[in-house]
Amino acid sequence: MAEQKHYGMVIDTQYCVGCQTCTVSCKISNEVPGNAHWNHLESLDGDVLYQSTGKFPRPTLAFRPLLCNHCEDPACVNNCPSGAMHKDPETGIVSVNQDVCIACGYCSWVCPYGAPSMNDVDHVMSKCTFCAERVAEGAEPYCVAACPANARVFGDLNDPESAPSKLMQERHAEPYLPEAGTRPSVYYV
């Protein structure tokens, strides 16, 4: 019997240029309605996005793209009162069943990454799905395929020969907020 997949992503913040192509591609391609966003950026250099820090001749400007971490022990799933948040045991992808969601927003409150977002058009929660339908067909998530800097690497973390597994080993990738205890599937270098 084949081992179950555990999809994950490694994001190289040294390559991310902050262009937000990932954010736009995700929003348009997944038809994310209203004000909901499944991807966004934060500055690694200061409190203001797109404002460099440091002094000439060495100013710095760095970004961390944020999305659902598809955690191994997801707080959103463990605390969803309606059972709408669930994790696919075959892939490790965390999703929301919008037909069951009661839009209480508790998943967003307990998520240390703030990933679930209110779909203000349909009044239910929504979040990154790692483009599960595309992945099932062998394609990459839209954010990975669209990144002009190739900062995102996606694949099966259970496969030691996959691109993200190799990158994690070579570059010592680490999760964001490991102290949250959710064992995220998105890593950063």
183 belongs to a structural domain: yes
Element (H, E) at 187: strand 186-188
Summarised one tens digit per residue, pLDDT across range 91-100 is: 999 999 999 9
For 24, list phi and psi in degrees, rounded to 5. Answer: -70, -45
Q: What pLDDT score does 55 carry? A: 86
For residue 152, what are the domain limits? Answer: 7-188
Report yes or no on 133 lying in a domain. Answer: yes
Does residue 40 lie in a domain region?
yes
- Within-domain flag for 61: yes
Q: Indicate whether 1 belongs to any domain.
A: no
Asked if 151 contacts 104 with a C-beta cutoff of 8 angstroms, the reply is no
What pTM did the predictor assign?
0.92
> Does residue 68 lie within any of the structural domains?
yes
Residue 138: other Cβ atoms inside 10 A: 6
pLDDT tens digits, the chain, 189 residues: what are they? 456 999 999 999 999 999 999 999 999 999 999 999 999 999 988 888 888 888 889 888 899 999 999 999 999 999 999 999 999 999 999 999 999 999 999 999 999 999 999 999 999 999 999 999 999 999 999 999 999 999 999 999 999 999 999 999 999 999 999 999 999 999 999
* CB distance 66 to 48 below 8 Å: no
What's the CATH number where 31 sits?
Answer: 3.30.70.20
If one counts the domains in the chain, the total is 1
Q: Is position 2 within any domain?
A: no
Q: Which two tokens stand for residue 160?
A: 């030691």
Question: For 98-107, what is each residue's pLDDT tens digit?
Answer: 999 999 999 9
